[in-house]
Chains A and B, each alone.
Chain A
Amino acid sequence: MEKDLARIALFAALIAILGLIPAITLGFGVPITAQSLGVMLAGAVLGARQGGLAVLLFVFAAVLGLPLLAGGRGGLGVFASPTVGFVVGFPVAAFVTGLVVEKLHRLPPGVSAGIGAFIGGIIVMYAFGTIGMAIVLNKSLTEAALLNSAFVIGDLLKAGLCGMLVAAIARLRPQMLPWYRAPVSQVFR
Chain B
Amino acid sequence: MISLSSPVRTWAHGWRAGTKLAALCVATMLLFAIGNIVFQTAAFGFALLLYCLPGRVFLREGLRHLRVLIPFVAIVLIWHLVTGDPARGIKTIMRMVTAVALANLVTMTTSLTALMDVVRWMSSPLRRLGVSTAPLEIVLPLLIRFVPVLTLRAGQMHQSWRARSQRRANYRIVLPMMLMALDDADRVGEALKARGGALPEQEN
* Chain A residues within 8 Å of B, Cβ to Cβ: 1-14, 16-18, 20-21, 34, 37, 41, 45, 57-58, 60-61, 64-68, 71-82, 136-139, 143, 147, 161, 165, 168-169, 172-173, 176
Contacts and interface: CB of A to CB of B under 8 A. Distances in A.
A5 B190 CA distance: 11
B31 to A, nearest CB: 8
Contact of B143 (A12, A18, A78, A161): A12
Nearest to B142: A9
Given A81-B96, A173-B179, A9 B197 contact: no
Interface stretch (B7-15, B48-56, B159-167, B181-189): B181-189
Contacts of B199: 1
Contact of B100 (A1, A8, A81): A81
A16 B46 CA distance: 33
- Lowest 3 CB-CB distances: which A-B pairs, in order? A3-B189, A75-B107, A80-B99
A78 B72 CA distance: 13
Given A9-B139, A61-B140, A64-B112, 15 more contacts: A1-B204, A5-B192, A6-B142, A9-B143, A13-B146, A60-B140, A64-B116, A67-B3, A75-B106, A75-B108, A77-B101, A79-B28, A80-B100, A136-B96, A165-B175
Nearest to A61: B143
Main secondary structure of the interface of B (DSSP, over half): helix
8 contacts: A1-B197, A13-B146, A14-B177, A58-B143, A65-B110, A72-B2, A161-B174, A165-B175
Contacts of B112: 64-66
Contact of A161 (B69, B171, B189, B193): B171
Given A14-B177, A137-B76, A176 B182 contact: yes
B103 A10 contact: no
Interface of B: 1-5, 21, 24, 28, 65, 68-69, 72, 75-76, 79, 88, 92, 95-96, 99-104, 106-108, 110, 112, 115-116, 119, 135, 138-140, 142-144, 146-147, 149-151, 154, 171, 174-175, 177-179, 181-186, 188-190, 192-193, 197-199, 204
A1 B185 CA distance: 12
A79 B149 CA distance: 28
Contacts of A8: 139
A170 to B, nearest CB: 12
Contact of B177 (A17, A65, A74, A138): A17
B49 to A, nearest CB: 18
Contact of B197 (A2, A81, A173): A2
Nearest to B24: A76
Contacts of A13: 142-143, 146-147, 149-150, 181
Nearest to A7: B185
Nearest to B141: A9
A7 B181 CA distance: 8
Nearest to B170: A24
Contacts of A173: 179, 182-183
B150 to A, nearest CB: 5
Contacts of A80: 28, 96, 99-100, 102-103
A75 B104 contact: yes
